Amino acid sequence: MHNYLKTVSVFIILAMANVAYAGNGMWLPIFLKLLNEAEMQEMGMKISAEDIYSTNKSSLKDAIVHFGGFCTGEVISDQGLVLTNHHCGYSNIQSHSSVDNNLLKDGFWAKSHSEELANPGLFVTFIESIEDVSKKVLEGTNDKMSIKKRQSIIDKNLAAIKGGYRLTEFQDVVIRPFYNGNQYFLFHTLTYNDVRLVGTPPESIGKFGADTDNWVFPRHTGDFSLFRIYAGPNNEPANFAKENKPFTPKHSLPISLDGVEEGDFTMVFGFPGRTNQYLPSPAVEQTINSLNPAKIEIRDKSLKILDKHMRADAGIRLKYASKFASLANYWKKWIGERTGLISTGALKKKYDLEAEYEKNAPKDYKYLVQEFKEVYGEIAPYALARDFYSETASRNIEILRQMGSFKRLVTAYEENGAEAYTKLLPKYKPRFERFYKNYEPSIDQEVFGTLTKHYVESLDSKFVPTSLSDEYMRKNQMDYDQLANDLYTKSNFPKKDVMMRIFSMEPEVAVKTMKEDPMYQFYIDWNSLYINKISAPYNSHKIQIDSLQRLYMKGQMLTFKDKRYWPDANSTMRVSYGKVNGYAPRDAVRYLPFSHVEGIMEKYVPGDYEFDVPEKLITLIENKDFGQYADKTGSVPVCFLGTNHTTGGNSGSPAIDGYGNLIGLNFDRVWEGTMSDINYDASICRNIMVDARYVLFIIDKLGGARHLIDEMELVRPKSNIRRR
Residues that bind ligand ARG (CB under 6 A): 87, 210-211, 214-215, 325, 329, 648, 651, 668
Q: In this structure, which amino acid lies at residue 711? A: E
Identify the helix (H) or strand (E) that includes residue 589: strand 589-591
Task: Name the binder of 647 from ligand ARG, ligand GLU, none, CB < 5-8 A by kind.
Answer: ligand GLU
Q: Measured from the CB of residue 303, what is the shortest distance to ligand ARG in angstroms?
A: 13
Q: In this structure, which amino acid lies at residue 421? A: Y
Task: Say whether 120 sits in a helix, a strand or coil.
Answer: coil
Contact between 680 and ligand GLU by CB under 6 A: the answer reads no
Find the DSSP H helices in 438-535. 441-458, 470-475, 480-490, 496-503, 507-516, 518-529
Where does residue 209 fall: left (phi above 0), alpha (psi -120 to 50 degrees), or beta otherwise?
left
Pairing verdict, β 594-596 and 637-642: antiparallel
Catalytic residue chosen out of the listed positions 59, 77, 651, 676: 651
Report d(CA 484, CA 476) in Å as an integer. Answer: 13
Contact between 649 and ligand GLU by CB under 6 A: the answer reads yes
Contact between 320 and ligand GLU by CB under 6 A: the answer reads no
Q: Measured from the CB of residue 669, what is the shortest distance to ligand GLU in angstroms?
A: 4
Q: Pick the stretch among 466-474, 513-521, 563-571, 667-675 that binds ligand GLU (CB under 6 A).
A: 667-675
Output the residue with the shortest Cβ distance to ligand GLU.
651
| DSSP secondary structure, 378-394, as one string | HHHHHHHHHHHHHHIII
Task: Name the binder of 204 from ligand GLU, ligand ARG, none, CB < 5-8 A by kind.
Answer: none
Query: Taking Cα atoms as reference points, which of 393, 404, 438, 216 lies closest to residue 298?
Result: 393
| DSSP secondary structure, 276-321, as one string | -TT--HHHHHHIIIIIHHHHHHHHHHHHHHHHHHHHH-HHHHHHHH
Let me know: does 604 contact 611? Beta carbons within 8 Å.
yes
Query: Taking Cα atoms as reference points, which of 318, 335, 324 lies closest to residue 302?
Result: 324
> Catalytic annotation on 256?
no
Residue 50, exposed/middle/buried by CB under 10 A (0-12, 13-18, 19+)? middle
Contact between 646 and ligand GLU by CB under 6 A: the answer reads yes
Q: Measured from the CB of residue 227, what is the shortest distance to ligand ARG in angstroms?
A: 18
Contact between 648 and ligand GLU by CB under 6 A: the answer reads yes
Task: Name the binder of 566 from ligand GLU, ligand ARG, none, CB < 5-8 A by kind.
Answer: none
How many residues belong to the site for ligand GLU (CB under 6 A)? Answer: 9
Task: Name the binder of 649 from ligand ARG, ligand GLU, none, CB < 5-8 A by kind.
Answer: ligand GLU
> Given the complex with ligand GLU, which of 209 and 648 has the nearer CB atom?
648
Pairing verdict, β 583-586 and 589-591: antiparallel
Q: Measured from the CB of residue 688, what is the shortest distance to ligand ARG in angstroms?
A: 9
Q: Pick the stretch among 117-125, 135-143, 544-552, 642-650 that binds ligand GLU (CB under 6 A).
A: 642-650
Side-chain half-sphere CA neighbours of 432 within 13 A: 24
Q: Pick the stretch among 431-439, 492-500, 595-603, 640-648 that binds ligand GLU (CB under 6 A).
A: 640-648
> Catalytic annotation on 707?
no
> Given the complex with ligand GLU, which of 333 and 554 has the nearer CB atom?
333
Q: Measured from the CB of residue 134, what is the shortest distance to ligand ARG in angstroms?
A: 32
Return the residue of 180, 204, 286, 650 that touches ligand GLU, per CB under 6 A. Answer: 650
Give Rg (Cα) of the chain: 27
Helices (H) and strands (E) in the chain, counts: 28, 23
Let me know: does 582 contact 173? Beta carbons within 8 Å.
no
Return the residue of 320, 388, 488, 667 that touches ligand GLU, per CB under 6 A. Answer: 667
Catalytic residue chosen out of the listed positions 223, 264, 517, 681: 223
End-to-end CA distance of the chain: 60
Return the residue of 285, 354, 440, 668 that touches ligand GLU, per CB under 6 A. Answer: 668
Q: Pick the stretch among 133-141, 495-503, 555-563, 645-653 that binds ligand GLU (CB under 6 A).
A: 645-653
Return the residue of 669, 686, 693, 701 that touches ligand GLU, per CB under 6 A. Answer: 669
Q: Measured from the CB of residue 651, what is the shortest distance to ligand ARG in angstroms?
A: 6
Task: Name the binder of 387 from ligand GLU, ligand ARG, none, CB < 5-8 A by kind.
Answer: none
Report d(CA 70, CA 48) in Å as an integer. Answer: 28
Task: Name the binder of 325 from ligand ARG, ligand GLU, none, CB < 5-8 A by kind.
Answer: ligand ARG
> Catalytic annotation on 223?
yes
Contact between 644 and ligand GLU by CB under 6 A: the answer reads no
Contact between 651 and ligand GLU by CB under 6 A: the answer reads yes
Task: Name the binder of 646 from ligand ARG, ligand GLU, none, CB < 5-8 A by kind.
Answer: ligand GLU
Q: Measured from the CB of residue 130, what is the shortest distance to ligand ARG in angstroms?
A: 26
> Given the complex with ligand ARG, which of 153 and 325 has the nearer CB atom?
325
268's CB contacts (< 8 A; 6+ apart) are 575, 576, 577, 642, 644, 646, 650, 653, 654, 655, 656, 666, 687, 689
Task: Name the binder of 659 from ligand GLU, ligand ARG, none, CB < 5-8 A by kind.
Answer: none
Contact between 51 and ligand GLU by CB under 6 A: the answer reads no
Show the binding pattern over residues 377-416: x = contacts ligand GLU (CB under 6 A), - = does not: ----------------------------------------
Let me know: does 234 contact 279? Beta carbons within 8 Å.
no
| Four-residue CA torsion sign, 358, 359, 365, 367 | positive
Q: Measured from the CB of residue 217, what is the shortest distance to ligand GLU in angstroms?
A: 13
Q: Nearest-5° angle of CA 714, CA 717, CA 722? A: 40
Q: Measured from the CB of residue 252, what is the shortest distance to ligand GLU in angstroms?
A: 22
Show the binding pattern over residues 256-285: x = contacts ligand GLU (CB under 6 A), - = does not: ------------------------------
Which neighbouring-strand residues pair with 666? 689
Catalytic residue chosen out of the listed positions 66, 87, 251, 454: 87
Q: Measured from the CB of residue 641, what is the shortest distance to ligand ARG in angstroms?
A: 14
What angle in degrees, to the nearest 10, is found between the helix axes of 346-360 and 536-559?
60
Find the DSSP H helices in 560-656. 597-603, 615-622
Catalytic residue list: 87, 223, 651
Q: Which residues in this chain contact ligand GLU in the complex, by CB under 6 A?
A: 646-651, 667-669
